[in-house]
Amino acid sequence: MAHSLLLLFLATTSLATFAPYYANLTFQPPRTLSNWSNLTVETRTGTFIGALNDTYPDVRQFLRVPYAKPPVGDLRWLPPQQLEKSSRRYDSTRYGPACPQYVSSTATTYNRYAPPNLLINLGESLNEGSVAWSTSEDCLSLAVWTPAYADNTSKLPVALFVTGGHGTMGGIDIPSQVPEQWVSRSQEHIVVTINYRVNIFGNPKSRALDETSLSLLDVRAAVEWVSENIEAFGGDPENIMLWGQSQGSALTHLYTLAFPTDPLVSKFGVLSQPPSVKVDLSTTPDPYVGFDIVAKALGCNYGTDADAELECMRQVSWVQIEEFINRYSGEAELDFSNYIPDERYIFTNETTRYIEGKVARGPEIRSNTASEMPTANRTATDQTQRQWLCKGVQESALRYEHGLDTYRYLWAGNFSNISPEPWLGAFHWSDLLMIFGTYGKDVGHISELEVDTSIAMQDLFLAFLKDPRALESEGWAAFEPDGANGGLVLEFGKGPAVRNVTGSWLDAGCYNPSVPMRLSG
């Protein structure tokens, strides 16, 4: 009987539940101003010349804005260095290069089924097997999208996005993650996306370095720049959301623990956080061996002299370094995606940080997809899904215990233009197509449900960005793991565009391994 009632609840809780929200939420139409020539923005570190977006001319974009000194020469493998005051004028109408990475020749879900999720590398195939042509060491830049009318008095909320990529790839210029449609539609917020160092350049694991979690420190440098300068673009420095997906969500999560007292942002978004991005020192006898292997292969064999090894490696071309890693086929694993706990920025015991109150205050969106890492083998997918979902459940419970609001959602949409193979389901990162409004960049039929789902996700994200306290009255309650039915979670795209499901239904497999995970059909 209880099971029947639950099914009835799930079937009847639909978009109608959120009718008050959609009735009250209004979006400003594009504003007709006599002067939309505010395409030159002055900041402390330079003057940036942007452009109106070609497809959405009510959107202003600045595609290359350096936020730290180029990490080249003696600055390679050092924490990002703050830019000095400058009157330099920058052409920001073109993207800057992403950070050094390569295009793998190995077939994956991302280069077989999801090309809009890959960095644009002009002229390269998706499995080129070489250094990415559009990457460079001088890569610490960000991009800003604003409504065209915005100026230094607008005080718009800011969504600062950290891209994913397994810690080995990624960057701003990924078609599925360009926010022009979302900003055009809302006319009420700003989106910033950042480049940060990845693989051996962001996580070098050299014995000679005090800090190897350079990717996290790059995120911090970008936050500092945005906090200081976003007002000039029309943003509100007191209302910044730091959010990311996959490796970007892991960095966002780590950020909350590394900078608990001065986060410089007021809210967070952790979308599909991996189960772990930390080296397990109890099972990894020498986490630095990968850097040694690369150094010796490239002529920097200095034995136990780690300082000499590092200095030598600073003289080697980044292209040589990336090509060696790309082609390496030795027995020892080269893994530059997981961070070594240093107890300064990356902590072995995160629960202790929560207990001690050493976590940034602020509400958080936390999500999973219904099929994070799909394979044609349903059992294998189920096992992987359990790891990813249960990590989110665990973190949400920790936050709840320490008075931090978490708004959870499950992405469950299985649309043929996004998931061309039925077994893919609502797979890892594909919810970003809904949030950014880029689902139309995939070839295929777009259903009315797909459009409605994107609208619902964009609207609720914007509502969170503007004032999370208003969400409960609009249908999205903060998650309470010990509440009725195990708390409430929003599900997007499965039947109606959005509906409530219960933690008891979604999370049961985290408490009872015999219960199958809830995968998208």
Alpha helices, H only, 288-365: 289-297, 306-313, 318-327, 350-355
Cα angle, residue 137 at apex, residues 131 and 138 outer, rounded to 5° = 135
- Distances from the Cα of 10 to the Cαs of 3, 212, 495, in angstroms? 11, 46, 10
The pLDDT, as a whole number, for residue 473 is: 85
Length of the chain, in residues: 521
Residue 65 tokens, joined: 């804005």
pLDDT mean for each 10 residues of the chain (521 residues) = 35 38 39 61 98 97 98 98 98 97 86 84 82 95 98 98 95 96 98 98 97 97 98 98 98 98 98 95 94 98 97 98 94 92 96 95 97 82 89 95 96 92 89 96 87 98 96 92 92 94 94 78 47
Distance CA 69, CA 84 (A): 9
Residue 167's beta-bridge partner residues?
Answer: none
Distance CA 457, CA 440 (A): 15
Q: Which residues contact 262 (CB under 8 A, 6 or more apart)?
A: none
Distance CA 379, CA 107 (A): 21
Q: Which residues are catalytic?
A: 246, 372, 428
The pLDDT, as a whole number, for residue 448 is: 96
Residue 199 and residue 168 in contact, taking contact as beta carbons nearer than 8 Å: yes
Edge-to-edge strands, sheet with 89-91: 40-43, 46-49, 89-91
Residue 8 tokens, joined: 């009835």
The percent of the chain in helix, strand and coil, each rounded to the nearest 5, is: 35, 15, 50
Cα angle, residue 351 at apex, residues 345 and 357 outer, rounded to 5° = 75
Distance CA 329, CA 263 (A): 41
371: region left, alpha or beta (phi > 0 left; psi from -120 to 50 alpha): beta
Question: Strand pairing of 235-245 and 59-66?
Answer: unpaired
Which numeric CATH code is attached to 41-150+171-230+279-345?
3.40.50.1820
For residue 325, the number of C-alpha atoms closer than 13 Å in the C-beta half-sphere is 29
Question: Which residue has 């139409």 as its token pair?
Answer: 29
Smallest Cα–Cα separation from 229: which of 70, 83, 364, 71?
83
The pLDDT, as a whole number, for residue 125 is: 84
Distance CA 329, CA 14 (A): 52
Residue 435 tokens, joined: 């949030």
Residue 268 tokens, joined: 């967070």
Buried b (16+ CB within 10 A) or exposed e, 271-283: bbbbeebbbeeee
458 membership: H or E segment, kind and range: helix 448-466
Residue 199 and residue 332 in contact, taking contact as beta carbons nearer than 8 Å: no
